[in-house]
Amino acid sequence: MFKSLASFFVIVVLLVGCKSKTEECVAPAIDKNLVGTWKAVVIEDSEESGTGTLTFNADGTINDPGNLFLGSPVTKSTWKVIGGDVETTFATSGTSVSSVSFTFKVKENTCTKIVLDVFGLYTVELTK
């Protein structure tokens, strides 16, 4: 009787211990979640216009090796979060130094996907 009862408890413990423990990820605020390297898809006027990787560094700089944002090389790319939006600034140099800024609305912020958008005309989908 004792062996049967002990065997029963061992089986119950094993079954309970093997229960799937899937915890849902809660994305941190965009200023924390954006930091890191992401696979990026750029969509302009509902058409995919580029893919590659983007790295948003904790120091506020952006590594954009494929020139996804502007389509041409930049000398400095920065980002910051203001009021829940992501503001980006890109400086180019040639015959004269110029810069351009975009403010992206955060359309989606999950643990594995971020969607940034400017008026529905220019969207950047980031996935881990």
DSSP annotation of 61 reads B
pTM reported for the whole predicted model: 0.78
| pLDDT of res. 95 | 65
Measured at the alpha carbon of residue 54, what is the angle toward residues 92 and 69, in degrees to the nearest 5? 40
List per-block mean pLDDT (blocks of 10 residues) for the chain, which spans 128 residues.
Answer: 47 48 86 98 94 98 93 92 97 80 97 96 96
pLDDT on residue 87? 98
Q: Quote the tokens at residue 31.
A: 């200023």
| Number of CB atoms found within 10 A of residue 28's CB | 12
Q: Which pLDDT belongs to residue 1?
A: 52
What CATH architecture does domain 30-127 belong to? Beta Barrel (2.40)
Residue type, 38: W
CA-to-CA dists, residue 86 to 79, 118, 126, angstroms: 7, 10, 13
CA neighbor of 99 nearest in space, from 59, 121, 69: 69
Q: What is the pLDDT of residue 5?
A: 43
